[in-house]
Amino acid sequence: MFLTEQPQRKIFRVTILLASLLAAPLVGLQGCASINADYEEPAVTVTSFRAVPTESAALNFEIGLRVVNPNRDPLELQGVAYTITLEGRKLITGVGKDLPVIDGYSEGAFTLNASASLFQAIQLLGDLMNDPKERIRYELDTKLDVGTFRPAIRVRNSGEISLQPVQQ
């Protein structure tokens, strides 16, 4: 009888050990979820989108973004990825890093610099020469990476930009 009890105890101990190992990550995730239960997604708005002068044939733009952090914890932006479409043409795809930390209950602003490829710029310029306009439509798709344990913030903005020179 003593011999049959030993294997059963070992099986029981191994079962308990395996159950503990499988349950530990779930308990950890539950703990993280309860800590961030009141997390609100930050708001992202485009504050500016303008063409900037250049000496090359490429089109250069500055894109101003404002981020509002409605949470108590700082928002440590890891990076940003964006795509710009002008007049229905996907012209610019870019990324940025070294973004500011947005303190809790604060807001921050930063500017992205972007340039279109020469080939795409020539096609757009050809379109604008055939159909001159004072303003062109844009769409800006932005993804802000806020770290591993939170989903990326995705924002789509659209509007028009003036092709008239800025008066200074």
Q: What is the pLDDT of residue 64?
A: 86
Q: What is the pLDDT of residue 109?
A: 93
> What's the rounded Cα separation, in Å, for the pair 166 and 149?
42
Write phi, then psi, for 107 (nearest 5 degrees).
-135, 155
* Token pair of 33 as six digits: 């979820």
Q: What is the pLDDT of residue 105?
A: 96
Q: How far is CA 24 from CA 11, 15, 19, in A?
A: 20, 14, 9
Q: What is the pLDDT of residue 18?
A: 57
Amino acid (1-letter code) at residue 161: I
Q: Provide the whole-model pTM.
A: 0.61
Token match 């404002």: residue? Answer: 66
Q: What is the pLDDT of residue 131?
A: 87
Write out the H or E segment, with its range, that includes residue 79. Answer: strand 79-86
Amino acid (1-letter code) at residue 55: E
Q: Which residue ranges of the chain lie beneath pLDDT 50?
A: 1-2, 27-34
Q: What is the pLDDT of residue 30?
A: 44
Write out the H or E segment, with its range, that includes residue 3. Answer: helix 2-35
- 150-165 confidence digits (pLDDT tens): 788 888 888 888 877 7
- 125-146 confidence digits (pLDDT tens): 888 889 888 888 888 888 989 8
Q: Count CA atoms closer than 13 A to 152's CA, side-chain side.
A: 12
